[in-house]
A and B are shown apart, each in its own frame.
Chain A
Amino acid sequence: MLDKKPIYQFQIGDRIEITSVEIRDDVMRRRLLDLGFVPGATIEIVQKSPLGDPIAFKVFNTTIALRKEESSFIYAKKVHKEVV
């Protein structure tokens, strides 16, 4: 759990594994879980806006952009070896 941090802090191209979703707003949390931001899921940082917010993530083949308001409460760790 050493390198666990909010997902907006990773770099473009990073593949990360979600460790926890700690969003307070129930409806928003539910929605993000439905979209695939679930603990254990591997996602990828696709793009960042010029000012770094929002950030686009690739989740199960779909690109979803999140603002910092949400992405700062989703934690992940980097996946080092990618097996394809």
Chain B
Amino acid sequence: MSNTRRALFRSTWLPWALVLPQLLIIFVFFYWPTGEALYWAFTLEQPWGGGNAWVGWQNFVSVFSSAGYWHSVRISILYAVATTVLAIGVALLLALFVDREVKGSRGYRLAAIWPYAIAAPAIGIVFRFVFDPRSGVFAFLNQASPGMWDPTLNGNHAMTMLVLAGAWQLVSYNFVFLLAGLQSVPRALVEASAMDGAGPLRRMWDLQVPLLAPTLFFLAIINMTDSFTHSFALVDVMTSGGPARSTDLMVYKIYSDGFKGLDYSGAAAQSIVLMLLVVGMTFLQFRFVERKLHYK
């Protein structure tokens, strides 16, 4: 943070007083719990009381040697990648065409932004209904041949449903950024390429999409991070991790191991792994901020 401002107020106590509320909350609800998670990750609660005993990496070892955990990691990555690709693809298509500013594009734009306002649990329940094997859109398949579509029994079906709901949630967010990105492409550039004889579709591919590359990269990171962390609500209302753990994403596993299985140490070790993942993604995102400057 380079701050070369000269005109600053001076006071020894006032700035502290101003940031104190924020710092207190951060300390109590962010840093302390994180510290505690670290502590739990390296200790084990004794069965007959007597506090926690230091066990080193043992919690991590048992987490990493469990097939269930690696399964969870695999499907989390699958979920994150699938959701991200789908959400960015759809949003990009919508943004490119809304940016053409045909008649009524304002209406399209508003409609594409709406879904952002809709809560994960609400849309999760809606998707659960829409894909319900007995009353959803595919229920007729089951009448023809039972089991052709059943996310409550078939893991792949459940994951598909989850990915669709997850992507649905992210489309609006991506759309807003991509449209903003498109609108910041200098008009002169578009006009120049039109003078060069490039038609609208060609311009999209040759000019607009390459110029959006930084935004696309940034959105990919944000979507992945979001899919790793904020997928909890969707999983909880749609599948509860089932059937047969086929949608037991990392976040949900931390929750169920911690609160349902009461394995605090195991859950804490998993939390630390997920946290490192988020930290890594955030650093990637900051590389993006540096790159973004190139185009400006």
Binding partners A and B: no
State the B residues within 8 Å of A (CB). none
State the A residues within 8 Å of B (CB). none
